[in-house]
Chains A and B, each alone.
Chain A
Amino acid sequence: MFQRFAVKSATALLLAASLPIANARTRPHYGGTLRIETQADAWQRFASPVRRLVFEGLTRVDGAGGLRPALATEWKSDSEEHRWRFQVRTGVHFHDASAVTATALAGALQQSCTENCPWTVVRAVGTEVVFTSDAAMPNLPALLAGDAFLIQHPSSNGGVDGTGPFEVSGFSNGVITLKANVDHWAGRPFVDAIEVRTRRSIADQWADVEAARADIVEVPAEKLRQAKQQRLTVLESRSVELLALQVRSTGALSNVNLRRAVACAVDRGALFNVIFQKEGEVTGSLTPHWMTGYSFLFPLERDLNKAQALRGGAAPPVVTLSADSSDATLQLIAGRIELNLREAGFNVQPVQKGGRQEADLILKMLPLEVGESGAAVESLQRAFDAHAFSKPPMTSVTAEEQAQAMLRFEREVVANAAVIPLLYLPRAYGIGSRVRDIHLNLDASIDLADSSLEESK
């Protein structure tokens, strides 16, 4: 109950925040080309603003955090949530005009998940997609709204097609062109086309949006404050990303006290105050309070003395640390953590991610699936390596009991220091002046359903 209240409160706040934009223009009109710029590949998972414009899932999360039908119109569970049946929306077509059928959806879902899936079997039964599992799947509808399970259908030209409001119409000179899907089941979007320019640096994106050469640009969390100071119009989500250290429980840190020493040695405050300039939220838990409705107290302050005491007198073996080398911010954070651990007496050796041997500590930035608390934890469990921690308990009980179970589970994971949560971070976009009625869904995906472009002056 409390969880629901929290989600709704957050949604109300977000809507209130977006009101000035929505109220600026009352009569949207069709037409125009929306220009989006991204730093990375447009099709990358999780943080891509483009994927969800082209692909859809069986369900979706609306701006208020509620679960809404998408390619499935309704869903039902039986056998105490060991079996779920999703009714496929009729009359929907992929962008290559092939019909969306239960068989096509089941095939796409099988393709999207090859291991550690929430289900055991997915198959088409008539106009339904049926999921079965040995364990209860209370979070399945919420999970299916996630980025990992967007439906991608092999197209006739060798690519992939979706069913989203926009379809890919061209690609040249690093610019992906999307055109409006006029036959979209939810109605055609206002804008005619979207141009996505990839591989643009943040500085260039901001320069473009200021010079009205771009309409939507990225604002990384570490530059959010700077964007605000520069008077950039920023659309900011709630905390939808988790910055955390995955700790390998074998090898150098097999001793739980050493893992706890690592947790005590990390200075979250420096990361929050300096690198992210007080944007986001320092955390000791896996899922944020606004999302799950519960919270537990966990010491967040750095305790070097305790870290050294837990480490003990003996010099520990070399502890390896890796982070995505293409992400400068993650590298900076990894450097800071390395410094923290050295002060606590650890001998830290940075290693390349994806090296021959898995690092003892892996710095990760992971998306948080919005929805039920169990769904968020379950998605994190899959996002971390499978052996980081076990699956959360899945029982078909009341939401409140499920939340309590999740709380206990999270506390156990954190206490065991298999994962050391560091920060929750928002996702944000800089919005150009001619874009109207744009807002973010609670999972930080861009909702262009009602947005349009002002006429050029």
Chain B
Amino acid sequence: MSLRQKLLLMFSLTVIVSVATVGWTVSMRVRKVFDQLYQQQTAQLVNQFQSELDQRAKGVADTLSSVAGSERMLRISQEVALTGESGAYVTDAGSFAHENHLDYLEIVGADGNIISSSQWPARFGYHEPAIDGPPGHSFLKLEDMPDGGVSVGLFAVRKVGNSESGVTLVGGRSLDQASVSELPLPPGTSLYFYGSEDVSSSGSLNGPPDKLLNASAFQGVVQRVRASGAPASSIIYITRDRADSVNATAIPLKSDKGQVLAVVVIATARRGMVEVQNHIRSIAFGIASGGILFAIAASLWIASRVSRPIEELAAVSESVAAGQWDAQVKIERRWLGKDEISVLQESYNHMTGQLVSQRDKLVQTERVAAWRELARRLAHELKNPLFPLQLTVENLIRARQLDQGEFDEVFQESTRTLGMEIANLKTIIGRFSDFSRMPKPEFDRIDACEAMRRVFTLYSAASQEHGSHIQFKLDLPGRTILISADAELLHRALSNLVLNAMDSMEDMDTDGILNLSVFMTGAKVFMRIADSGKGMSAEERDRIFTPYYTTKEFGTGLGLAIVQSVVADHHGTISVESSEGRGSAFMIEFPAAPGEEETA
């Protein structure tokens, strides 16, 4: 990751974390405020609902008192008490209930058995347990219905007349969604009534149908209330949109015995709160986005001041590392000497300047050393033939004192010697000339194996003819390996290496082994020439490719230099592995010809 990216990331993270912290804090505070408001509102609604329930209970009691005091009911009571016959009134509860807007009304005889029931007319003769309770107050009660269901109602019990053998009324009004929906509610608040078909079961809810909320929406909280008997609250998510959610508070409605008969759910929409939270979040996102943009701008500015010069410095350093030692960092004049970066750039440029200067000096020194070496080598090479020449000429001068016959014999001998040595001088000069005039390779697609085989054939046969004790070994793959090379130059280089190897094994007491091999790895072709000769010291190994360096008595020191030159001209490399007494191995690496890749 670049310095610029790090700076950008650091700035952005700082802004985001700051804004997120502020946004979260504000959002939580808003939520807390809304929760408090919701709790106050719920408490108010609970009180309102309780008050409404009390009002309705009073209404039921009053209505029942009115029915009990009616002339018709008193007559029924008297006649039942007098005759004991109640069959004539089996359907009367229905008409009383209808006239007095009661959902439930049962006329119960002195024996506690139902004479007439409005809600379940066929239940006459059955015992009504509510009659056994204390009369006078209103209470919640589950009422079995003919369809097999159970409904919840607000009931009261009233005795008709004063006669002990008279009838008693058990009547009430149902509590259901329709009845609670009459309560005035603040906007965004709904009231839901959940009765139960079986109070002991946590099963079916017969709550209200709703476009957004179905009965199962509050099932969890309702079941919790049914199980615990205590109010419970929960957040209900209606859709995936957080705004479509409600704060639900479920309140149990209990019988006198504490049995939960129904549950009222007060649901307050959280849309307002969620929208405020979303608004805050949007603002936070906006600020964060602005902050990030600011961070980008700031990082760009700082980059222009800090990271760009450093990046340029890095780029220049890479150039220097690549060999372009004269690379310089551009320094803006306005910042020159004003900050650390410009000082660094200036120092760097000074350093590269110094480096170039030192290199030039070194090159000059090396060039001088090379010339000296060349001069020394030339002097050495030329000195050897010059000495016989000098002796021969001096011998000729002395021979002038001899008689003609002896002089002629000496003269002929001397001129032959002079010719030989002059030819030797020509040979030496020709070698130097050759090295200075190495031809450019003419590339062709040739088989590296064939090139190695050619060298093998040539020198193994020659070696056998001369009775050499060197054993030649050739290791080639069973296919052609094409490289792009000049066949003659390559042959010359390989020959040079083979001859060097043979020379290194010439004076050995034991039989030498010369291994010639070619192999391919990936897109590279390797030609290896390894001998079991005397090997090289570390110093020799480091210098063998230096021109005019030789370990041989009559070597020019140009053989391996020529080999290296040929290999380099073929875009290849040459390396050597050697240690004293263990032989040497030269490895030439060429790129494979286009389309020639190793096939496994």
A-side residues, CB < 8 A to B, are: 225-226, 229, 270, 273-278, 328, 332-336, 338-339, 350
**A338→B85 contact, CB < 8 A:** no
30 contacts between A and B (CB under 8 A): A229-B88, A270-B124, A270-B125, A273-B87, A274-B86, A274-B87, A274-B90, A274-B125, A275-B87, A276-B87, A277-B85, A277-B87, A277-B88, A278-B87, A332-B90, A332-B91, A332-B121, A332-B122, A333-B122, A334-B122, A335-B121, A335-B122, A335-B146, A336-B122, A336-B124, A338-B122, A339-B122, A339-B126, A350-B146, A350-B147
**B120→A335 contact, CB < 8 A:** yes
B-side residues, CB < 8 A to A, are: 85-88, 90-91, 120-126, 146-147
- Nearest 10 interchain pairs by C-beta: A335-B122, A336-B122, A277-B87, A274-B87, A332-B121, A339-B122, A274-B90, A274-B124, A226-B88, A270-B125
Closest to A270 in B: B125
A332 CB, nearest partner CB in chain B, Å: 5
B584 CB, nearest partner CB in chain A, Å: 104
Residues of B within 8 A of A275 (CB): 87, 90
Residues of A within 8 A of B146 (CB): 335, 338, 350
Residues of B within 8 A of A338 (CB): 122, 146
Between A274, A275, A278, the greatest number of chain B beta carbons within 10 A of the residue's beta carbon is seen for: A274
Give Cα A113 to B584, complex, Å.
131
Between A225, A333, A334, A339, the greatest number of chain B beta carbons within 10 A of the residue's beta carbon is seen for: A339
Give Cα A332 to B86, complex, Å.
16
**B88→A225 contact, CB < 8 A:** yes
Give Cα A333 to B90, complex, Å.
11
A225 CB, nearest partner CB in chain B, Å: 6
A349 CB, nearest partner CB in chain B, Å: 8
Give Cα A111 to B120, complex, Å.
44
Give Cα A137 to B262, complex, Å.
65
New contact pairs (17) apart from A226-B88, A274-B86, A338-B146, CB-CB < 8 Å: A225-B87, A225-B88, A229-B88, A270-B124, A270-B125, A274-B87, A275-B87, A277-B85, A277-B88, A328-B91, A332-B91, A335-B121, A335-B122, A335-B146, A336-B122, A339-B123, A339-B126
Between B90, B122, B147, the greatest number of chain A beta carbons within 10 A of the residue's beta carbon is seen for: B122
A277 CB, nearest partner CB in chain B, Å: 4
Give Cα A276 to B146, complex, Å.
21
Closest to B124 in A: A274
Residues of B within 8 A of A278 (CB): 87
Give Cα A259 to B88, complex, Å.
31
Residues of A within 8 A of B121 (CB): 332, 335
Between A225, A229, A336, A350, the greatest number of chain B beta carbons within 10 A of the residue's beta carbon is seen for: A336
Give Cα A336 to B122, complex, Å.
4
B229 CB, nearest partner CB in chain A, Å: 30
B144 CB, nearest partner CB in chain A, Å: 10
Between A278, A335, A350, the greatest number of chain B beta carbons within 10 A of the residue's beta carbon is seen for: A335
Residues of B within 8 A of A274 (CB): 86-87, 90, 124-125
Closest to A343 in B: B126
Residues of A within 8 A of B120 (CB): 335
A31 CB, nearest partner CB in chain B, Å: 39
Give Cα A334 to B122, complex, Å.
8
Closest to A331 in B: B121
B469 CB, nearest partner CB in chain A, Å: 113
Give Cα A277 to B86, complex, Å.
9
Residues of A within 8 A of B125 (CB): 270, 274
Closest to B90 in A: A274
B150 CB, nearest partner CB in chain A, Å: 14
Give Cα A227 to B123, complex, Å.
24
Closest to A332 in B: B121
Closest to B85 in A: A277
Closest to A347 in B: B148
Give Cα A335 to B123, complex, Å.
8
Residues of A within 8 A of B87 (CB): 225, 273-278
Residues of B within 8 A of A336 (CB): 122, 124
Residues of A within 8 A of B85 (CB): 277
Closest to A340 in B: B122
Residues of A within 8 A of B90 (CB): 274-275, 332
Residues of A within 8 A of B147 (CB): 350
B145 CB, nearest partner CB in chain A, Å: 11
Residues of B within 8 A of A333 (CB): 122
B169 CB, nearest partner CB in chain A, Å: 19
Give Cα A225 to B90, complex, Å.
13
B123 CB, nearest partner CB in chain A, Å: 7
B315 CB, nearest partner CB in chain A, Å: 89
Closest to B122 in A: A335
Closest to A336 in B: B122
Between B86, B87, B88, B123, the greatest number of chain A beta carbons within 10 A of the residue's beta carbon is seen for: B87
Give Cα A275 to B123, complex, Å.
11
B560 CB, nearest partner CB in chain A, Å: 108
Give Cα A328 to B95, complex, Å.
13
B33 CB, nearest partner CB in chain A, Å: 54
Give Cα A45 to B517, complex, Å.
125
A243 CB, nearest partner CB in chain B, Å: 15
